[in-house]
Amino acid sequence: MQKNKHYTGMKVVIYIVCIFLAILSIFPFWIMIINATRSTYEIQQHAISFLPSKFLVKNWNILTGKSFNVLRGFTNSMIISVCSTALNVYFSSLTAYALVIYDWKLRNAFFKFIMAIMMIPAQVTMIGFYQMVYKIHMTNNMLMLILPSIAAPAVVFFMRQYLQPTLSPEIVQSARIDGAGEFRTFNTIVLPIMKPAIATQAIFGFVNSWNNLFTPMVLLTDQKKYTMPIMVSLLKGDIYKTEFGSIYLGLTLTVLPLFIVYFALSKYIIAGVALGSVKG
């Protein structure tokens, strides 16, 4: 009895906190979507409103009228984000696997090296990177935004930290006894074990890549290659003609695919198909 009561009180607190946080989370999305239906003028008067207005179509026309090609932006962003996320999680898992399961001479040195490059501030290596890309004349090449994600030190670090306690060497041993090659063992046995970690990192990676503005902005100068965030920033940059409603609509469109990916992968966040929980 006593115990139950304690739980109920506890639960009330938990729910109050959670609902409060949930409202905080929904709030900006709500404002963004509502403002996408409001006119620039209405937004200037009151940036925040909880009720939609009737300017969605007008905003859409302004948006698409400003050489804002939604479909192209979508496609470009998708290509870059999907490819770089896939490369990112796959090769990071592979590298992490190499770090966890094999005893090789340079293993510790390599791990320390990864940790070290993870700490380098991004802002200035940027300069060197841009100069390099311009020098080798690879601007406007999406590969320049996709390929570097193969080497993602932070993700390798996460995967290693995840794999370290969860993967038992015995599983790998038994696969070897069954005659599986090392590469196959990784693909068929280890990858499934890492599913929850891969799902979370895939979400993070996708979100990062999708929202990345500065690098694509400097490297992709060809309108055909523009990603969604570049297009949105163009709207904002047209300082003489600030169309807030359309900007919010653009921002909303940028978030939509993220929602889709996010909710598709969110079951891993919700349920978590972790190694330990697969019982029997």
Partner 1 sequence: MRNKKSVKYAKYGYLFSLPFIITFLIFSLYPIFYTLVIGFTDMKGIGATKFHILDDPLGNFKTVLSNRTFKMALKNTVIIWLGNFIPQIVLALLLTAWFTDRRCKVKGQGVFKVLFYMPNIITAATIAILFGALFAYPTSPMNDLFHSLGWAKEPIYFLQNKKLAKGVIIFIQTWMWYGYTMVVMISGVLGINPEIFEAAEVDGANRTQTFFYITLPQIKTILLFTLVTSVVGGLNMFDIPKLFLDGGPDNATITTSVFIYKQAFAGSYLYNRAAAASVIMFIIIAIISAIMFRILKEDDPESAYAGKKRRVRNAEK
Partner 2 sequence: MKKRRLVAGAMCALMATTLLAGCGKSDDKETTAAPATDTTASETDGGDDTTAAPTSGETVNINLWSFTDEIPNMVQKYIDTHPDCGFTCTPTIIATTDGAYQPALDQALMGGGADAPDLYAAEAAFILKYSQGEAAQYAAAYADLGIDIDAKIKEADIAQYSVDIGTNPDGKVVALGYQATGGAFIYRRSIAKDTWGTDDPAEIAKKIGGGSGNLDAFWTAAEELKAKGYGIVSGDGDLWHAVENSSDKGWIVDGALTIDPKREAFLDYSKKLKDNGYHNDTQDWQDAWFADMKGEGAKQIFGFFGPAWLINYTLAPNCGGEAVGEGTYGDWAVCEPPIGFFWGGTWLLANKDVPAEKVEAVKTIIEWITLDCTEDGLQYMWANGTLNGEGGTKDCVASGTVMAMSNGELDFLGGQNMFDVFVPANQYANGKNLTPYDETINSAWRDQVRQYSSGEKSREDAIADFKSNVGDVLDITVD
* Rounded Cα gap, residues 247 and 102, in angstroms: 51
Count of other CB atoms within 10 angstroms of residue 129: 16
User: Judged by CB under 8 A, does residue 256 bind partner 1?
Assistant: no
CB of 148 to partner 2, least distance (A): 17
Structure tokens at 75: 């496609």
Q: Which is nearer to partner 1, 83 or 274 (CB)?
A: 274
77-136 residues in contact with partner 2 (CB under 8 A) are 130-131, 134-135
CB of 12 to partner 1, least distance (A): 11
At position 86, the amino acid (one-letter code) is A
User: Judged by CB under 8 A, does residue 253 bind partner 1?
Assistant: no
Residue 37 DSSP symbol? T
Binding mask 19-48 for partner 1 (x = CB under 8 A): --xx-xxx-xx-xx-------------xxx
Segment contacting partner 1 by CB under 8 A, of 10-18, 53-61, 76-84, 219-227 = 10-18
Binding mask 210-229 for partner 1 (x = CB under 8 A): -x-x---------------x
* Of the residues 7, 19, 23, 67, which one makes contact with partner 2 according to CB under 8 A: 67
* Of the residues 61, 67, 75, 164, which one makes contact with partner 1 according to CB under 8 A: 164
User: Which among 90, 222, 71, 193 has a CA at the least distance from the CA of 146?
Assistant: 90
Dihedral angle sign, alpha carbons of residues 146, 151, 153, 156? positive
Residues 6+ apart with CB under 8 A from 200: 268, 269
* Of the residues 69, 200, 215, 242, which one makes contact with partner 1 according to CB under 8 A: 200
At position 13, the amino acid (one-letter code) is V
Q: What is the dihedral of CA 13, 18, 20, 22, to 10 degrees?
A: -170
Provide the residue count of the chain. 280
CB of 200 to partner 1, least distance (A): 5
User: Judged by CB under 8 A, does residue 68 bind partner 1?
Assistant: no
